[in-house]
Structure formats: structure tokens, C-alpha cells
Structure 1
Amino acid sequence: MAARDLQVLNKLDLAKTQLYHFKAIVIAGMGFFTDAYDLFCISLVTKLLGRIYYFDPTSKTPGSLPPNVSAAVNGVAFCGTLAGQLFFGWLGDKMGRKKVYGLTLMLMVICSIASGLSFGHSAKGVMATLCFFRFWLGFGIGGDYPLSATIMSEYANKKTRGAFIAAVFAMQGFGNLTGGIFTLILSAGFKSKYDVPNYNDDRAGSTVPEADYVWRIILMFGSVPALLTYYWRMKMPETARYTALVAHNAKQAASDMSKVLHVEIEEEQQKVAEVATAQTNSFGLFSKEFVRRHGLHLVGTTTTWFLLDIAFYSQNLFQKDIFSAIGWLPKAGTMNALEEVYKVARAQTLIALCGTVPGYWFTVALIDIIGRFAIQLMGFGMMAAFLLGLSIPYHHWTTKGNHIGFVVMYAFTFFFANFGPNSTTFIVPAEIFPARLRSTCHGISAAAGKAGAIVGAFGFLYAAQDKDPAKRDKGYPAGIGVRNSLFALAACCVLGFFFTFLVPEPKGKSLEDMSRENDDEEEGQNTAAIGIDRTVPV
């Protein structure tokens, strides 16, 4: 008995798009909305944190975070995310997707609020507390990756599965955009009260006391969308694929899916028992059989996600520094703290609106038409092309009057990241591995991605700095370190292009066909035959 013969799975594969599909997209997607907001809002306030906590009264320039502190504040959430992806990915296969789904959301809510309430007697104390809570915030965010992707893939039909998973992930774009818009509104509200024309940096006015409220409110706002969806997340039934293929409970699977599909589904407990008996893929994650069947697939999903996230998160977290390096953002000493927050948020919101959000929805519209493989190849290729287009004529872009061209090119790298590997690396691992290892393997792939984000968060910060200030005296632009970093990011995209050839195309196929769970009956029979003839000389 093969998994393809189970009525509940056939009904899911062939189901027309229904209300429950959209409910699942919104419920799972709001987790990613929160994820993106929480991960990227820190880049909006790091300059403000430097002004507030690292101002030197003997200096006439605004305060800024030391490189090591900036790297920690920006990157510590990714460390937590990596750990959360591995832990909750494994737990999702052991306990079921639903049982741990609410835990990740509550962890995100609590730690978002706690991050905004970070305390300490000194600047180091506040930063240490902030890093502590952002690590655990990242831990909760990490759990959302394998669980949301797996749940959506197991709920969806095979015809539009890619679009449904992509739509969940596309909520990241709205989270990123909302972070920028909320920061714009908040900083504008405070700034209007204290804005002074022709303002020179001065501690009494440059960083007003209310500035300390601004970054805290921005971080705490991330708890709101998570709270709004907690109830509905708890009401979602367990996926039929987990219940039938892993828990082997046909009655529960039929009952749960009858409610969401609004059709009568037979229990088929005998068929489920036969599938369980026929399954020969009871191999472990680190077994030779897994390596034979899915080893190259896992190498492909982990390497492409790792390489993509080095480029993607480097660009996201440090776009404010890149814009400052090319002169699009004014120097810090020419504006007060709230004005700086406003202009950083405006720049990042423009990029999100013009490049990030449209890219996600192009993927939603086209992924089940042209396939994951083609989109990923195209995305890596175009990202590399645009990054080289920024880095090779870098001196041209840093010339006054050419900044708009740089920003347009930069926005296109985000567009093709999201209409490309940033979406597909999330989607494919939820489709190609067996049900009982699906969440674990997605977690491993996602954790590899976050390892890339950590490389980007810590490595790009140092690589983008001009290590030899004396060069500026010889006519070199101050942003020469940024140029070299853009070359490195382009190289990552080229490598990602070639590693994509290790990843199969799941378009239009059932999850059981992609994971080869439908081969179990045949392989079981072959194994049995071999066992009978084992005494016959070969």
C-alpha cells in the first residue's frame, strides 16, 4: 500500500482553492510578517542607539555604536534564529506541527516586548540586555520557518502549492515595509516638536530625551501582529500528512480534513496501517539510505540558502551604511537624532516598496507556471549582475548626482532576491523531504541560511569599513570598503547559481512523489524478495 492510495491525501492534492487555504496563508503568514519586522527593525534604530548611549561629550560628532557592539546588536537575533530553526524543526517532526506552533509565537511576543524594555546602569548594560532578549526573540522566529513552511505545504494542493507557500513567505515583505512606515510615523511625530532649522550637533538638542522612547516603541510594536493571530493559530488542526503518515492516526486525519475541506472522507485505518507496514524508509537522518535518497538535495538546499542569505541580509541590515557611503543620506552631524531615524526609515521604506514587496508577489504569481528551478537560477543570476553593476563602476555611483541611479540598481537586487532564491530556498525544502523528516530538514536548510546571515551581519560590518584611512588622503572615496563587499556578495550569488543544480523541481508533483514515499511499497516488496532469495548464490 503506497501513500498515494490514501483518500485523505488525494483529496488534499486535488482540492480546489478554498477559504481554508487563505486562512492558513494569513495565519502562517502573520508569523512571517512579525519575523521580518522584528529582524529588520533593529537596522532602523542602531544609529539612534549610538547617539543615545555612546555620545562622547568631548567630541563634536554624534555618538555611534562601536563596531563590535553594532555587530552584536544586529547579529545576535540571527544566532537565536539558527538555534530555533534546528530545535523547533526537530520538535515539529517529533511532536507534530501544531503542538509547538503556538509556543514560537508566544516567545516572539514576550521577547519583542522585553527587547523594548531593555535596562541597565550603563550603555554596556542596556546593550547586553537588548542582545539577550533579541537572542530569544530570534529563537522563537527560528521556529516559525520550518513549522510555517511545512504546515502550508501539507495543507496545499499540488497544483498551487508553490504559490501558497510563497504567499506565506511574501508576508515578510509587508513586515519589512510596515517597520519602515511605522518608524517614519513615530519619528516624524516626535521630530516635528524638536526640529530646528540649520541644526548643528549638540547634546542638548540633537538627541532629545524622547529619543529613548522611540527605539523602544519600535521594537515593542513587533508583538502586536503576533498577538492578533495567536488564537487562530491554536485553532488550526494538525496537518493530515503528519497525522496519517507519521502518527498513523487515520481517524483523526479524516476528521480534521473533513472539516476544512467540507467533504466526507473515510477513515481508512487499515490502509494507513498497510502504509506504515510497507514503509521501508524508516531510516534516520544520518543514515546511508537518507544520503542515497536525499543527500544531494539537502546539500543543495543548505548551500543555496547559505549563500543567498550572506548577500540578502548584508544588504538589508547595512543599507543605511551603504546609502551613507554613497552620500544619499546626509552626514550624521548635519541633522538631529530623530531626523536621522526618519531619513534612514524613508530610504529603507522606499527600497521595500519598490523592490522587496513586488519581488515576493511576482514569485507568488509565477512559481507554479515557470517552476522553482527557473526562478532560483534567474534570481541568482540577476542579483549577481546588478551587484556587479554597482561595484564595477562604484566611483561613478558615489559621484554627486548619480545617487538615484545607485538606489534604483540596488532596489533591483532586492527585487530579484525575492523574485528568486529568497523565496525558492524557503519553499523547496518543505516539498522534497519525507513527512517524518520534513520539518527537520527544512530547519537544517533554514539554519544554514541563518549561518549565512550571521556571516553577513558580522562579516559585512567589518568588510565595509575602510581599513586604511590614509587612502582618503590620496583621493580614494571613503566607501572603498563597501565596493569590495559588493564584489564579495556578487561572488556568493554566482556560487548560489551553480549549487541550484543540486535541487530538484517539485512543480506539479505531490509531496509523496517528491519525497519518494510513494516508492515505499515497491521497495518494500523488492527488499522482501531479496530477503527470500538471500541463500541463493549470486
Structure 2
Amino acid sequence: MGFFTDAYDLFCISLVSKLFGRIYYTELTHPKPGTLPPNVAAAVNGVSLCGLSYDPVLMVLCSVASGLSFSDHPKSVITTLCFFRFCLGFGIGGDYPLSATIMSEYANKKTREALIATVFSMKGFGILAGGIVALIVAAAFDHSFKAPAYSVDRAASLAPQADFVWRIVLMVGTLPAILTYYWRIKMPETARYTALVAKNAKQAASDMSKILQVQLEAEEEKLEKITQEKSNSFGLFTKQFADHHCLHLLCTTSTWFLLDIAFYSQNLFQKDIFSAIGWIPKADSMNAIYEVYKIARAQTLIAMCSTVPGYWFTVAFIDYMGRFAIQLMGFFFMTVHNWVCCDLLTHLFFANFGPNATTFVVPAEIFPARLWSTCHDISTAAGKAGAIVGVFGFLYAAQSKDATKTDAGYPPGIGVKNSLIMLGVINFVGMGFTLLVPESKGKSLEDLTGENEEEKATEQQAASATAAPV
């Protein structure tokens, strides 16, 4: 539910952002009435990616507040909306490491990868739900589904209805957030944290007994021995962490950063790609609400045919293929997409049956228990930094190379074709950093973090010291 909510709140904005141009940028003085300027479009779509790390309560409050961004002045509405979308990003960002760590620590080594991937696959259903909600709301407000010719007056006459549409779509994100919060407060702390960090073996055994519905005994002596080990005491900014996990952190942050540049640049701006490839009619041939319907229908079809299947292919094959092979394959086909075929369905399928899923799974497995969530959050933040680069950078780079074709003096870009070539280069570099990804298939969390090896080494040293002559 956490990831379902994250995806709905993140991507529903792309369904309704064109409405803002229709409603708030209709003045005849504007160079292209009914169209958001590039800087405003980038801010509305990307600002939630700038805020990281809180919880479902914040998602509830900010989903409601986003829909209540009222003002008589267009700039005030957009500014208020961007502020609450930024705050929403704190809740979404905090939920990424929590969801991954909770599932990783509760799962066993045989099914851990598939279960973590299943958590992440809910992102696809969140995107799909956003499209369905937008379809329903648009249908409720535009009964005729006719497409009258667009004009500034027509846009203005639709403003009250269109204003309801985007607010309802955004505020529906409150419902799954409330459910997420309710179930989270009823969930006990993970046993590994309780035992290894809080050092409460009895509570850990009690919690796991309730979860697994079996009777477990607290192993106080084993816990005391483990918590005294050096491997469980070092922090993030220590030589021990640098020696054991610095390369791992570079691997998780770099691949997630590069992946999100490509993924978010094309996901949040699908609506523009739909127009470019002729999937939806030109804006001047339909009213504002009908445009929302067409965009939502296209995104729903994409989610059903590509996004959701891609995630579930990862769930099905990750235990057999491993993360390394899936991630390398995904980056390869994303590169091919950008350089050769430019097929949106192929790109999204292999992004999700590829690095978009594995970059979430790997950080949840390869770091010490006391640093799992911290390192996953750092990796998530790196990914969202890449998303910001992708959203803002792609929007400006995709502007026409010819300065005479840009709106109101906006700086010329390199064009859509060259932008896709650049994204292909980024995906190719992602393939290179994937070579640093450790394969964790079939290994326990303790084996992956090196804690078992260090414990065995300590036991051998103690045995040698005992056997040595006095």
C-alpha cells in the first residue's frame, strides 16, 4: 500500500498538468494560450521529486492540501501547488527505504528478492489507478465526450469544471495514504532492528512469534555475542564501512541516479510523447476535460500493456535470473530503445523488467542491519536527484534547436531526437556501473553484509587463542 500510494501521488500529476495551461494560461498576451511554459511544466511535474524523507501522515496532509491550492491569481495557484507537492515528496521519499527494509527483514532468503520486487511492483498498480481515476472523473464532468474546437473563450468556460477535475484526481491519493498509515501503526518493528540495534531479544522473539504464528525463544546469549562484534557497531562515516561497503554504495547510488534520469524524463512527460506520436489529437481539436480523458486512456493502456507486466516479469524471474542479469538486460534494451526504435512500450517494459526494479531491491539487501534504511535512503535520494535532472533537463533539452521556434524567448534545446540519443548514452553508462552490482541470489542477509564471515573469523581467533600454549 505504501508503494501504491507513492506511485499514485507521484504520477497522477502528469495526467492533469495540461489542465493548468487550459485554465490558468488563457490570456491573449501569453504566446501560446492554453499551454504551460516549460519552466512551469517542469516545476509542477518535478517538484515532488525534490523533497525526501517522512511518512504516510505527510502524504495524507499534502494530498489534501494539493487539491486545496486556491487563489484568484494563476501564479499563486501554481506556487501553492508546487509547495505542497514538494512537501508530499518528503512522505514519498521516506516511504521508499521503509517499505524495502521492512520486506527485506521479514522475508527468508529463498523468496526475499521476489517479495521485495512485489512491493515495488505495486508502483505499477498505482500508476494504473491514477489513469483509471482520471478516466472516471473526466467522464463524470464531460458527458458528451465531443471534441469542440479549442478557443480561449471555450477554455475559460470550462475552467470551473476543469478546476474540479485536477483537484479530485490529486486528492484521491489521500485514501491509500490513510490505509497505509493505519496498517503501519499496527505493524511491529522488524526483528533484526529490535534485536541488533535496540538489543531487545525478548521483544524481537515476541514480535516474530506473532508474525509467523509460531513460538520462538529469545536467544539472549547469541544476541549479546553478536552485538559485541565489531561488524555491528561501525557507523556510516567510518573506515570499516568504507572498507566493506563504499563500493556497494557507489553501485546503488550511481545506477539509481542514471536510471531515474531516463525513466522519469519519459514517464512524467508521456502526455507530450503521446501528442508527438499521434496517440492523442492536437489540443486545438478538443476541450480541456476531453484532453484529460484521452491522456488518461493512453496512460492506462501503457500501464496495462507495459508498466505492470514489466514489474511482474521481475517478480517472476528475479529468483532465477538474479538482479545483475535483469539490470544489465534492462539497461541494454533501454539503450536500444533510445538509439534505434524509440518504442515507448519497449522502454517502459524493460525499465521495469530491469533496473527500475533491481535498483530498489539491491540496497535493501547488501548493507548492515543498522544501516539498511539509511543506505537505502541515500540510494533513493540519488535516484530522485537523477529524476530531477531528467524532468527539468529533458523538458528544456527537448525544445527545438531553432531559437525562432521556442516560446517567448525560452532558450533553445537540442531537440527531441538528440535528447533521446543523450538518454541512450546515460543508459549505456548505467550498464557499466551495473558491473559493480553484487549478486545476492540465494544468500542470507548476513552473508551479503559480511557479518557471518566476520563472526566466523572472530570465533577462529578465539579458538586459536584458547589452543595456544601458555
Q: What's the TM-score bracket when you normalise by the shorter of the two chains?
A: over 0.9
Greater Cα shift, 46-55 or 319-328: 319-328
Q: Which amino acid aligns with 1:47?
A: K
Q: 1:463 aligns with which of 397, 418, 425?
A: 397
Number of the residue aligned with 2:386: 452
Deviation of 1:470 (Å): 4.9
Q: 1:267 aligns with which of 218, 223, 229?
A: 218
1:49 aligns with 2:14: no
Q: How does 1:68-147 map to 2 (within 5 A)?
A: 68-80=39-51, 83-84=52-53, 104-147=55-98
Per the alignment, in what secondary structure is the counterpart of residue 210 of structure 1? Answer: helix
Deviation of 1:242 (Å): 0.7
Q: 1:426 aligns with which of 354, 360, 367?
A: 360
- Percent identity between matched residues is 66
Q: 2:311 aligns with which of 360, 370, 380?
A: 360
1:440 aligns with 2:378: no
Per the alignment, in what secondary structure is the counterpart of residue 228 of structure 2? Answer: helix
Shift in CA distance, 504/527, structure 1 to aligned 2, threshold 3 Å: same
Deviation of 1:526 (Å): 7.5
State the alpha-carbon separation in 2 of the partners of residues 40 and 494 from structure 1. 26
Contact 1:61-1:201 within 8 A present in 2 as well:
no
Contact 2:26-2:156 within 8 A present in 1 as well:
no
State the alpha-carbon separation in 2 of the partners of residues 516 and 480 from structure 1. 47
Unaligned runs of 5+ in 1: 1-29, 89-103, 392-408, 473-477, 533-538
Q: Which amino acid aligns with 1:426?
A: F
Shift in CA distance, 206/121, structure 1 to aligned 2, threshold 3 Å: closer
Contact 1:325-1:479 within 8 A present in 2 as well:
no
State the alpha-carbon separation in 1 of the partners of residues 211 and 30 from structure 2. 64
Per the alignment, in what secondary structure is the counterpart of residue 233 of structure 2? Answer: coil
Deviation of 1:323 (Å): 2.1
State the alpha-carbon separation in 2 of the partners of residues 231 and 59 from structure 1. 46
Number of the residue aligned with 2:197: 246
Number of the residue aligned with 2:334: 383
State the alpha-carbon separation in 1 of the partners of residues 146 and 152 from structure 2. 12
State the alpha-carbon separation in 2 of the partners of residues 479 and 454 from structure 1. 17
Deviation of 1:204 (Å): 3.7
Number of the residue aligned with 2:129: 178
State the alpha-carbon separation in 1 of the partners of residues 117 and 147 from structure 2. 46
Number of the residue aligned with 2:409: none
Per the alignment, in what secondary structure is the counterpart of residue 149 of structure 2? Answer: coil
Number of the residue aligned with 1:343: 294
Contact 1:60-1:201 within 8 A present in 2 as well:
no
Number of the residue aligned with 1:203: 153
State the alpha-carbon separation in 1 of the partners of residues 262 and 29 from structure 2. 38
Shift in CA distance, 183/479, structure 1 to aligned 2, threshold 3 Å: farther
Q: TM-score scaled by structure 2?
A: 0.93
Number of the residue aligned with 1:149: 100
Q: How does 1:489-500 map to 2 (within 5 A)?
A: 489-500=423-434
Contact 2:117-2:314 within 8 A present in 1 as well:
yes
1:481 aligns with 2:415: yes
Contact 1:62-1:333 within 8 A present in 2 as well:
no
After superposition, what is the alpha-carbon deviation per residue over 1:48-68, rounded to whole angstroms, capped at 9, x for unaligned? 011111111357964222211
State the alpha-carbon separation in 2 of the partners of residues 481 and 314 from structure 1. 14
Contact 1:78-1:454 within 8 A present in 2 as well:
yes
State the alpha-carbon separation in 2 of the partners of residues 258 and 269 from structure 1. 16
Number of the residue aligned with 2:113: 162
Number of the residue aligned with 2:349: 415
Deviation of 1:522 (Å): 3.7
Shift in CA distance, 197/243, structure 1 to aligned 2, threshold 3 Å: closer
After superposition, what is the alpha-carbon deviation per residue over 1:482-505, rounded to whole angstroms, capped at 9, x for unaligned? 111111111111111110111101
Deviation of 1:333 (Å): 1.2
Deviation of 1:248 (Å): 1.4
State the alpha-carbon separation in 2 of the partners of residues 386 and 318 from structure 1. 16
Deviation of 1:221 (Å): 0.4
Deviation of 1:315 (Å): 0.8
Per the alignment, in what secondary structure is the counterpart of residue 192 of structure 1? Answer: coil
Deviation of 1:231 (Å): 2.1
Per the alignment, in what secondary structure is the counterpart of residue 370 of structure 2? Answer: coil
1:65 aligns with 2:16: no
Contact 1:279-1:521 within 8 A present in 2 as well:
no
Q: 2:261 aligns with which of 289, 305, 310?
A: 310
State the alpha-carbon separation in 2 of the partners of residues 442 and 58 from structure 1. 48
Q: 2:436 aligns with which of 502, 508, 512?
A: 502
Deviation of 1:123 (Å): 0.8
After superposition, what is the alpha-carbon deviation per residue over 1:288-311, rounded to whole angstroms, capped at 9, x for unaligned? 221111111110010000000000
Number of the residue aligned with 1:322: 273
Shift in CA distance, 197/445, structure 1 to aligned 2, threshold 3 Å: closer
State the alpha-carbon separation in 2 of the partners of residues 177 and 479 from structure 1. 32
State the alpha-carbon separation in 2 of the partners of residues 526 and 338 from structure 1. 71
Greater Cα shift, 379-388 or 303-312: 379-388
Deviation of 1:167 (Å): 0.5
1:520 aligns with 2:454: yes
Q: Which amino acid aligns with 1:37?
A: Y
Q: Which amino acid aligns with 1:36?
A: A
Shift in CA distance, 337/254, structure 1 to aligned 2, threshold 3 Å: same
Contact 1:153-1:165 within 8 A present in 2 as well:
yes
Q: Which amino acid aligns with 1:443?
A: D
Q: Which amino acid aligns with 1:381?
A: F
State the alpha-carbon separation in 2 of the partners of residues 333 and 531 from structure 1. 83
After superposition, what is the alpha-carbon deviation per residue over 1:86-144, rounded to whole angstroms, capped at 9, x for unaligned? xx5xxxxxxxxxxxxxxx11110110010000122311111111011111111000000
Per the alignment, in what secondary structure is the counterpart of residue 245 of structure 1? Answer: helix
Number of residue pairs the alignment of both structures matches: 460
Greater Cα shift, 57-66 or 116-125: 57-66
Aligned-CA RMSD value: 2.2
Number of the residue aligned with 2:8: 37
Greater Cα shift, 378-387 or 423-432: 378-387
Deviation of 1:281 (Å): 4.4
Shift in CA distance, 269/483, structure 1 to aligned 2, threshold 3 Å: same
Shift in CA distance, 516/54, structure 1 to aligned 2, threshold 3 Å: same
Per the alignment, in what secondary structure is the counterpart of residue 437 of structure 1? Answer: helix
Contact 1:207-1:337 within 8 A present in 2 as well:
no
Q: Which amino acid aligns with 1:45?
A: V
